Structure 1
């Protein structure tokens, strides 16, 4: 506690000592972060640049890429600074802000994926109504709700936590997640119940909606033509891969933040980093490789870059 400034500082205790390999690991994580920025920025640029990609499905993909950029930026810059520092601390206020960004953007990811599932359902199952249902206004509302619903609910949890007295000042993680509740002198029953409600709203319900939507799509395409089944597979498979990978990592993060598991510190470190790195790296690869139109524009862009270098 800094009495002069009335600021409470927390020690981030989830790091392991890597000694002489510190700079190697630092540059490796930095390279991955730069790759996240470049790959997601390219996807956003391609969708913004080409009019034939101004369809709802691609707009949602661009939104996912923007969300991935913000998600990794909420954690990685601070992580890289702490990795080379001997004094790894963060103010309680900054910790709550990082907590807010982490769960807001994580929840927005699931809500954006749910919006994409709805778009695919309308496109494949009700193609004649698609232009009248998935208008620009509908897409804008869905994008707004994805971030607003997630952020507004997480904000309430932050306000409740900000009024709690701290009895411990060392986090056992590398960034601020639900483990911040373990620092409180008393476990807040209100916050625990509210946390379950938020988790249901921004994770469980979107995932259930996505599975229900895809079950309907599979049922309809199974009875339809081969071309429709192929279209459904091409557009839905990347979506499923992103959903499954992100869900598994989020469930791990929630369980370890709430329950004391006897995993080695190095395992916690690697898994925590995967939560932040895996999806922001995976999204542009999956959508760039599997979505035909994006892949076509991506190859054109690289060919143009190569020609420019030779000229």
Structure 2
């Protein structure tokens, strides 16, 4: 009886150690020997893409978010549909809005020339998101690398796993919590909306039907977003009215003035538990930057494929 208990304890310890080893395989210097020029290749490509269109930085950041929230940070969002599965690109949160795939393709092409078959698409996306933030004036951090790529994608998981712009605060907190992200992480990561734009279809209800929005701001958004559904659905508006191409804390200042573009933005400052965090980031931009970095690192740790799991795709759009 005692020997069985001892064996059980050993097995539990082995399982725990194995789990920690998987996470430990992600490291900032993962490719330092196998692909030393990776940081320059990614940075140069992202710099070129943002120089052509500043909005692309926000698109790459959003693409990483949408990847990690669906079965982990595994590059699945990059896969095209096949005869075996419907991919995530056609999901409601991504269809007609997810962008930056060509930038990731271009980076992958250059990386394959430098070190073929070494760097995953999932890692390229993670590094491109970081460089996008930094090149638009945000913080820099060491991205943990070593992920491998998924061999499949899930339309239903993308439809159900990515928080909708109509989400209330409890729904947001619950979804983030299910992935190991705290309420503070939720608010900090939402601050990524200090860059980029949103489609009319995602904020129409907020600017016409809700009271937690400043009236003049609502009317200004209505001028480019007709009330009728289907009319002007793809018309764009900046998520941060003040500085949509600069990564700063203006997003939080907007929320305090009830100028959040999305319902899911404004619920972060609407008399709830996150009000104090928003006020803190408004008063202390460094606090926001620091918390954003920590939240991005935590998000990048969501269920990575490592070791012999998955594969390193040669083409980010299809499995090998």
Query: Which range, TM-score by smaller chain?
Result: under 0.3
Give the TM-score normalised by the residue count of structure 2. 0.26
Question: Higher helix fraction: Structure 1 or Structure 2?
Answer: 1
For the pair shown, which has the larger CA radius of gyration, 1 or 2?
1
Give the TM-score normalised by the residue count of structure 1. 0.27
